[in-house]
Amino acid sequence: MVAVREPRSVSSPALTDRFGRRHRSLRVSVTDRCNLRCRYCMPAEGMTWLRRDELATDEELVRLTAVLVSLGVSDIRITGGEPLVRAGITDILARLRALPGVAEISMTTNGVLLAEHLDALVEAGLDRLNVSVDSLDPGRFAQITRRNDLTRVLEGLAACERHVALRPIKVNAVVLRGLSEPDVLPLARLARDRPYVVRFIESMPIDAGRTWSSEQVVPGEELRRMIGATWPLREVPRTRPSAPGRRWRFGDGRGELEFVSSVSEPFCASCDRLRLTADGRLRACLFATSETDLLTPLRAGANDAQLTALIAETVDGKGPGHGIGTPGWSYDGRPMSMIGG
Asked whether residue 272 is assigned to any structural domain, the reply reads yes
In order along its 341 residues, the chain shows pLDDT tens digits of 333 333 333 334 899 999 999 999 999 999 999 999 999 988 899 889 999 999 999 999 999 999 999 999 999 999 999 999 999 999 999 999 999 999 999 999 999 999 999 999 999 999 999 999 999 999 999 999 999 999 999 999 999 999 999 999 999 999 999 999 999 999 999 999 999 999 999 987 776 566 767 778 899 999 999 999 999 999 998 878 788 889 999 999 999 999 998 888 888 889 999 999 999 999 999 888 889 999 999 999 999 999 999 999 999 999 998 877 676 667 767 877 888 86
Asked whether residue 131 is assigned to any structural domain, the reply reads yes
Q: Is 28 exposed, middle or buried (0-12, 13-18, 19+ CB in 10 A)?
A: buried
Asked whether residue 18 is assigned to any structural domain, the reply reads no
Asked whether residue 218 is assigned to any structural domain, the reply reads yes
Cis peptide bond N-terminal to 245, omega within 30: no
Residues 6+ apart with CB under 8 A from 65: 26, 28, 73, 76, 96, 99, 276
Number of domains in the chain: 1
Of 80, 53, 30, the residue nearest 336 (C-alpha): 80
| CA–CA gap between residue 76 and residue 265 (Å, rounded) | 24
pLDDT of residue 221: 96
pLDDT of residue 207: 61
Helix (H, G, I), strand (E, B) or coil at 122: helix
Of 77, 56, 51, the residue nearest 272 (C-alpha): 77
CATH number of the domain to which 322 belongs:
3.20.20.70
pLDDT of residue 57: 98
For 209, the domain range is 25-339
How far, CA to CA in Å, does 341 sit from each of 19, 136, 207, 290, 337? 23, 22, 12, 17, 8
Query: Residue type for 188, please?
Result: A
pLDDT of residue 26: 97
| CA–CA gap between residue 291 and residue 89 (Å, rounded) | 24
Of 81, 30, 80, the residue nearest 57 (C-alpha): 30
| CA–CA gap between residue 30 and residue 93 (Å, rounded) | 10
Asked whether residue 4 is assigned to any structural domain, the reply reads no
Asked whether residue 311 is assigned to any structural domain, the reply reads yes
| CA–CA gap between residue 78 and residue 62 (Å, rounded) | 12
Of 256, 87, 242, the residue nearest 171 (C-alpha): 256
Asked whether residue 66 is assigned to any structural domain, the reply reads yes
- Residue 235 belongs to what H/E stretch? strand 233-236
Residues 6+ apart with CB under 8 A from 240: none
Asked whether residue 11 is assigned to any structural domain, the reply reads no
